Chain A
Amino acid sequence: MNLFSLVLVSLGRNKRRTILTMLSVVVALFLFCALRGVLDTLDASIKVSSEARLVTRNAISLIFPLPLSYRERLTAIPGVKSVAHANWFGGRDPVDPGNFYAQFAVDAPNYLPMYTSDIEIVAADRPQVETPVPPGIDPKLASFISERDACVVGERLFKRMKWKLGQQVPVSGTIFPGTWTFTIRAVYHAKNPAFGEEAMLFHWKYLSEKGMNGQGIVGWYVLELADPARAGDVIRSVDAMYANSAASTRTETERAFQAGFVSMYGNVPFLIGVIGLAVVFAILLVAANTMMMATRERTSEFGVMKTLGFDDGTIFRVVLAEAAIITLGGGALGALLAKLVIEGSGFNAGGLLPPMTVGWATVATGIGIAVLMGATSGLVPAWQASRLKIVEALRRPE
């Protein structure tokens, strides 16, 4: 036996209480890390975006469109390498309306080459006839490029829905009414996990022809820059060009655009942080109370230990170690469990966000909080036990 095994044995004195206290810490740290994971995920959604791409949208709001006619002038702005446009489709699964996944209508020949470093095609149908693909497009996408109603879907979505290549997928339009049918011609894998694999991309042209009666309106433009250092000049040029038009623009880097999108959640991230800390604080009080109860019950035992020659410092360390093992053990378990469970679930808000993640920094913060909890909850009982007067402690009943 040594002092550490003495601490462990003491923890086993009231196994039910120790386990329940530890479980409460596990749950607290699990919740804390899971809630912080939401913030990590929002951060990750910003990180997927690039400083080398700009997003131009309607200055009033993202929900107001821009004319397709802007495209030619945007392409001509010095410093702009290429321009693509996209729309949010907002369709629903007609069979299971609760089964949400994101659909985007994209100007594929220009849009997909911009994201070659983020996604790769892992499965694709062969075209019925040899079809050339535009420059910068993966040749495997020939079938998708050549078909009006074809779509590319994320690998995760593809597996979750148990789809097959060539399968026709019905989608009920909400913004663009009617039943739409898309043929799956390719599957993409996100090389950058933050890109997510739960979205469907289809041809903007199909949306325009079927959903807008050929009207040329787009949700937003993506501008790829020749030189990211000139982003400021390009932003000013674009917004100045349309400052007095019917649809004035707001241009920003894709990263800033995504951050703005995240900021639409308002104070939710702040609230999430506060709720997480409140949970931890509540459990801290529970742990501290339990430790104090456990110490009080052992008053005469500490008196005996002191009589045998244990000094105040050793008693202090023994009690503190007991609290630390409960909170650190429970905290580490809760934090790691949050990482495993949350990331294992792959939840991604239907493709609106990257797969939910709990970063190692969050796990480390959780463990740090557990250490702090251990110190805080153990400090008072450890101090009380160490300051016990032997004569009084021995006199006190168990």
Chain B
Amino acid sequence: MALVEIRNVRKVYRREAEEVPVLDGLSLEVAEGDYVALMGPSGSGKTTLLNLIGGIDQPTSGDVVVGGTQLAGLGTKQLARWRARNIGFIFQLYNLIPVLTAQQNVELPLLLVRMSPKERRERAQHALDIVGLKDRLKHYPRQLSGGQEQRVAIARALVSDPAVLLADEPTGDLDRKSAAEILTLLGRLNQEFKKTIVMVTHDPHAAERAHRTLHLDKGVLSN
């Protein structure tokens, strides 16, 4: 059974009186442990699809089912709780909180879980250890390189042990070397930690690391 099921999803944005269709009757299945790369030109609906899978946006019609949960049936608060448990987000621009240290940034999602401060700290340190930043716990984002910031962001996505990692152009803002390191890390998370990964990318080298690549154009998927 697929971990992510998208059935006949339409997404239409409204710009004043005008309707802008972004996804047009899209269906997709992602199996548990899969690593999918989503490619396509700008405005093709890649990020929108990622947002729908992550429950931060709702489809105009159709079903989004992740881990057996029909997302349309969840209220705002339930969706927030569901995201905290099931989804890890990795952004192109890392989106770390600048006033928090690396460890505090990673602890952030754990504030929503009943957990002792000690356990929270230990889990954050473990996640940072996995991404190879155990020696940067007390560093602020401004004291880290782009690659290191992205690794902190990956640790933050990882710390609550979600089944699915959604990465929106995770190497888009990095140099070639850092990008390669991040892609290696994502591959390791998929193979070693069995994380299901859906990654939006413009980079064919990044897409090569995935198990399969899907192309999205004008809201329609093709292999």
Interface 9-mer from B34-42, B63-71, B74-82, B180-188: B74-82
* B77 and A313 within 8 A (CB): yes
A/B interface sample: 9 pairs, CB < 8 A: A1-B100, A1-B108, A1-B111, A301-B97, A304-B91, A307-B56, A309-B112, A312-B80, A391-B51
Interface 9-mer from A3-11, A136-144, A236-244, A328-336: A3-11
Q: Is B45 an interface residue (CB 8 A)?
A: no
* A308 and B83 within 8 A (CB): yes
Among A1, A10, A310, A391, the residue within 8 A (CB) of B117 is: A1
Q: Is B170 an interface residue (CB 8 A)?
A: no
Task: Using A1-B111, A1-B117, A307-B83 as known contacts, say yes or no to A312 and B56 having CB atoms under 8 A apart.
Answer: no
Q: Is A311 an interface residue (CB 8 A)?
A: yes
Contact with A along B79-93 (1 / 0, CB 8 A): 011011100010100
Q: Is A229 an interface residue (CB 8 A)?
A: no
**Which B residues lie within 8 Å of A309 (CB)?**
80-81, 83-85, 109, 112, 160
**Which B residues lie within 8 Å of A203 (CB)?**
none
- What number of A residues sit within 8 Å (CB to CB) of B? 24
Closest chain A residue, CB of each to CB of B84: A309
Q: Is A390 an interface residue (CB 8 A)?
A: yes
Among B54, B76, B104, the residue within 8 A (CB) of A9 is: B104
Q: Is B61 an interface residue (CB 8 A)?
A: no
For A1, A307, A309, A312, the residue with the greatest tally of chain B CB atoms inside 10 Å of its CB is A309
* A2 and B77 within 8 A (CB): no
Q: Is the interface of B mostly helix, strand, loop or mixed?
A: helix
> Cα distance A247–B54 when bound, in Å?
92
Seen from chain A, the residues whose Cβ lies within 8 Å of a Cβ on chain B are 1-3, 6, 9-10, 12-13, 300-301, 304-314, 390-391, 394
Leading 6 A-B pairs by shortest Cβ distance = A309-B84, A311-B80, A390-B56, A304-B95, A308-B109, A309-B83
> Cα distance A311–B80 when bound, in Å?
5
Q: Is B5 an interface residue (CB 8 A)?
A: no
Among B83, B99, B109, B111, the residue within 8 A (CB) of A10 is: B99
Q: Is B10 an interface residue (CB 8 A)?
A: no
Among A10, A301, A306, A394, the residue within 8 A (CB) of B80 is: A306
Q: Is B107 an interface residue (CB 8 A)?
A: yes
**Which A residues lie within 8 Å of B46 (CB)?**
none
Among B83, B98, B120, the residue within 8 A (CB) of A1 is: B120
> Cα distance A53–B91 when bound, in Å?
81
Range for the number of chain B residues in contact with chain A: 20 to 34
Task: Using A9-B100, A391-B57 as known contacts, say yes or no to A310 and B120 having CB atoms under 8 A apart.
Answer: no
Closest chain A residue, CB of each to CB of B13: A391
Q: Is B151 an interface residue (CB 8 A)?
A: no
**Which B residues lie within 8 Å of A308 (CB)?**
83-84, 89, 108-109, 112, 156
**CB of B169 to closest CB in A, whole Å:** 13
* B111 and A3 within 8 A (CB): yes
**CB of B124 to closest CB in A, whole Å:** 9
Closest chain A residue, CB of each to CB of B157: A308
Closest chain B residue, CB of each to CB of A309: B84
Chain B, 143-162, CB within 8 A of any chain A CB: 156, 160
**CB of B133 to closest CB in A, whole Å:** 17
* A13 and B120 within 8 A (CB): no
**CB of B200 to closest CB in A, whole Å:** 13
* A305 and B108 within 8 A (CB): yes
**CB of B65 to closest CB in A, whole Å:** 19
**Which B residues lie within 8 Å of A394 (CB)?**
91, 95
* B57 and A6 within 8 A (CB): no
> Cα distance A6–B120 when bound, in Å?
14
Among A1, A311, A314, the residue within 8 A (CB) of B107 is: A1
> Cα distance A300–B91 when bound, in Å?
12
**Which A residues lie within 8 Å of B76 (CB)?**
311-312
> Cα distance A86–B85 when bound, in Å?
83
Task: Using A9-B100, A311-B77 as known contacts, say yes or no to A2 and B95 having CB atoms under 8 A apart.
Answer: no
> Cα distance A394–B98 when bound, in Å?
16
**Which A residues lie within 8 Å of B56 (CB)?**
306-307, 390-391
* A2 and B54 within 8 A (CB): no
For A1, A10, A12, A300, the residue with the greatest tally of chain B CB atoms inside 10 Å of its CB is A1
* A1 and B104 within 8 A (CB): yes
